Amino acid sequence: MSCLTFWIAASATLAIGHPVADCSSKPAAFFLAGDSTTAIDGGWGNGLLAPLKSPAWGANIGKSGATTASYSAGGYWANVTKHLRDNVDKYDSYVTISFGHNDQKSTSGVTLEEFQANLVRFANEVKSLGGTPLLTTSLTRRVFPSDQDHNATDSLHDQRLAAIAAAKATGSTVIDLNKASLKYINAIGKEAAQEYNYGDDKKDTTHLNPHGEVVFGRMVADLIIREKPCLEKYFTPNKTLSDAIWNNQPA
């Protein structure tokens, strides 16, 4: 999809279900719930929040190593709901909910069915508190099989489908980061995709280095704007970066 096509599609949503009136007259606030691929130092979360323009603001409440179960048990979800209760009267409050990397592990103690049920519970609670859940499918891993430099492993396929199903069950918005990020790294190829890897040796294909945080944070921002065009005014645009992403060029 070209950048022009992307933004035409975004504009078209004004007529097919995402009118500007969907957004409140109150300024926006974004509270980010998720695992390390959202969290500070290695996740896309701060890359999403950095271009916010006042009076919009946000808080990154991602937790490294978290599953949907441990995030609740550790009190992190309670922190999200506290942010909602404290701010929903003054701010049009959005909660990105992005898990899966740890839930899918055999040692997590969370089945796929439980994972989906936990997402449903999170989304419903956000709605009950007056916020808007944005069920965000997992950032893809940048792992490529040998001799397949444009065919990254789709390792979070089931978790993506569970998040989409949870969104459908709760009438929530899907931010399909997994689909967009997988398509993007397949287009730019293994060598370019590894430039976003975490660590000095760039061997961590799950987490993001500082530049990767900016790139994929912008991808999430653009996807949110596509679903909620009225939020565009709260993000400082970066046309150069958006053009590169949506025209499948290394950024």
pLDDT at 23: 75
**210-225 confidence digits (pLDDT tens):** 999 999 999 999 999 9
pLDDT above 90 (res 184)? yes
State how far the Cα of 65 lies from the Cα of 100, in Å rounded to an integer: 10
**Paired sense of beta strands 204-208 and 197-198, if any:** antiparallel
Other Cβ atoms less than 10 A from the Cβ of 75: the count is 11
**23-36 confidence digits (pLDDT tens):** 789 999 999 999 99
Please choose, from the candidates 211, 122, 218, the residue with its C-alpha nearest in 3D space to the C-alpha of residue 177. Answer: 218
Beta bridge partners of 135: 97, 174
Give the N- to C-terminal CA distance of the chain in Å, as an integer.
16
pLDDT at 24: 82
Other Cβ atoms less than 10 A from the Cβ of 181: the count is 28
Residues shown for the chain: 251
Helices (H) and strands (E) in the chain — how many of each?
10, 7
Across the range 176-201, mean pLDDT stands at 98
Q: Which amino acid is at 97?
A: I
**42-91 confidence digits (pLDDT tens):** 999 999 999 999 999 999 999 999 999 999 999 999 999 999 999 999 99
pLDDT above 90 (res 17)? no
pLDDT above 80 (res 10)? no
Please choose, from the candidates 165, 140, 111, the residue with its C-alpha nearest in 3D space to the C-alpha of residue 220. Answer: 140
Could you give the maximum distance between any two Cα atoms of the chain, in Å?
A: 54
**Buried (b) or exposed (e) across 29-53, using 16+ Cβ within 10 A?**
bbbbbbbbbbbbebbbbbbbbebbe
pLDDT at 22: 67
The rounded mean pLDDT for the chain is: 93
Tokens linked to 185: 């790294």
pLDDT above 80 (res 15)? no
Tokens linked to 186: 């397949």
**143-181 confidence digits (pLDDT tens):** 999 999 999 999 999 999 999 999 999 999 999 999 999
pLDDT at 41: 98
Task: Say what the pTM is.
Answer: 0.92
